[in-house]
Amino acid sequence: MNYPMIIGIDDTDSKEGMCTTYLAAVLIERLKIYGTIRDYPLLIRLNPNIKYKTRGNAAIALSLELNRIKDVQNVKQTVIAAVEEMAVFSDENTNPGIVFIERECNEMKSDLALFSLRAVRDVLKISEAENMLVKYGISKRGFKNKRGLIGALAAAGFALTGLSDFTYELIAYREKKRWGISRDIDRNSVLAADSATFPDTWDTVDHENERIVFAPHSPDPILFGIRGNSESAVRAAFSMIKSEPVERYVIYKTNQNTDMHLIDTRIDEVANDRSYILKGKVSKDPISIEGGHVIIKISDNGAAIECVAFEPTKGFRNVIRKLMIGDNVTVYGSVKDGTMNLEKIRIDSLIQKELRNPICCGKRMKSRGKGQGFGCPKCGAIRKEQEIEPLERNIQTGFYEVPPCARRHLAKPLVRFRCHET
């Protein structure tokens, strides 16, 4: 007889190093003596706007089938010991949490489904996680201020209730002696792997900006990560890449690149530190500001919001610069300080005509004052009204996205859209 257990872990890394997924990779090896991993380990990206996050705000969950009921305590001790050994407790923002789900009921599954989704879209309090843990008698261990219990419970909740949309990521880890030094990855092999497996894998190479983007630059244990639609796709790419020795690798099922963080709502309902899909009409021409950022304003039913394409989005800014007052758009992104950070945009309709002063004697006529029409300074001719003229727009309707080098973990790339959703 097998005994199921779900383990959720969060907040063990720091901006200076370590990685919660690496802890999971080590645990997978250490827990083999007690049972087997069901399905894939889960890598869950939480709300990307949380100010307390370390890097990618990732939590992990492992679903185990234990061989013996008496091994339950051994598993818990092994997990707690791994966190105590590997978590970066010296970092102020590192506050690990561990949860162990050993039994389930329909009410708990319903509550956890809602809680887990809120952890991706909303801002939760530590007390909300603690209350849920107490309500259902879920075993846990929190460290320092225990904030990690939020992500740990959310990841475990997804392991229990499932993901409606998911992708895969194969993460390769470095030998410990190489942590903190430059990564040795053969560029040509990466280009070949991308060419052979795209579009079943993506965000390995940013061709427009001529950058390899699947390897981090921080001093953590990750060598690189390959994202794709299936295990076979990420394995195929992995088999082609030449690099420094790989200590170990794990294939995770994940909510990355699913747009799970986005809330479809109206402009007048947005709140800071959340992510949205908003419809509106461009109500202010694009402006470029210091730093190379581009800003537009969109409006709907009397409410308005500024939307920014930041400098790291590179060529995406050129799309925003071409918009005009009156264009109808749908924007995708995160709101901070009342401003949306653009991740994608769908141009729904473009204005094709505009009012212009009439032409006379080869030049535009001048206004003669409010309500007095227009006059030609050369011949003196007068006309009462402006004329409607067609516009040549160097842009088309449809979806546009930031390049891979600027993509957030949860943002769904257009390569994953089917028939460019409408």
Could you read off the pLDDT of 326-375 as tens digits, one per residue?
999 999 999 999 999 999 999 999 999 888 899 999 899 999 898 899 99
114 secondary structure, DSSP code: H
> What pLDDT is stored for residue 420 in this prediction?
41
Show me where the domains of the chain are located: 3-161, 167-254, 262-352+393-416, 353-390
**What pTM was computed for the model?**
0.92
Mean pLDDT for all residues in the chain: 95
Beta-strand runs (E) in 137-245: 139-142, 167-174, 201-202, 205-206, 211-212, 222-228
CATH says 262-352+393-416 is which class?
A: mainly beta
pLDDT tens, position by position, 283-320: 999 999 999 999 999 999 999 999 999 999 999 999 99
Evaluate if residue 414 carries a pLDDT over 90: yes
Instruction: Out of 48-52, 209-213, 329-333, pick the least confident.
Output: 48-52
Counting Cα atoms < 13 Å in the Cβ hemisphere of 68 gives: 7
**Average pLDDT over every residue of 375-387:** 91
Closest CA to 227 of 62, 10, 411: 411
Residue 326, SS3 per DSSP: coil
CB 368 within 8 A of CB 341: no
Residue 418 — pLDDT band, cuts 50, 70, 90? low
16-44 per-position pLDDT tens digit: 778 999 999 999 999 999 999 999 999 99
Whether 276 and 335 have beta carbons less than 8 Å apart is answered as yes
Q: What is the pLDDT of residues 231-283, one digit of tens each?
A: 999 999 999 999 999 999 999 999 999 999 999 999 999 999 999 999 999 99
N-term to C-term CA, the chain: 49
The predicted structure's pLDDT at residue 151: 97
- Closest by CA to 224, choosing from 184, 195, 259, 166, is 184
Over residues 125-147, the mean pLDDT reads 97
What is the CATH code for 3-161? 3.30.70.2200
Model confidence at 55, pLDDT cuts 50, 70, 90, reads confident
Interval 79-95: pLDDT, tens: 999 999 999 999 888 99
pLDDT at 422: 40
pLDDT over 80 at 174, yes or no: yes
Report the top-level CATH class of 167-254. Answer: alpha beta
Query: In 290-397, at which residue ranges do the beta strands (DSSP E only) sit?
Result: 293-300, 303-309, 328-336, 339-349, 353-356, 359-360, 363-364, 366-367, 374-375, 382-383, 387-390
**Mean pLDDT throughout 44-72?**
92
Spatial CA neighbour of 410 closest among 310, 274, 262, 290: 262
What's the CA gap between 271 and 276, in Å, rounded? 9
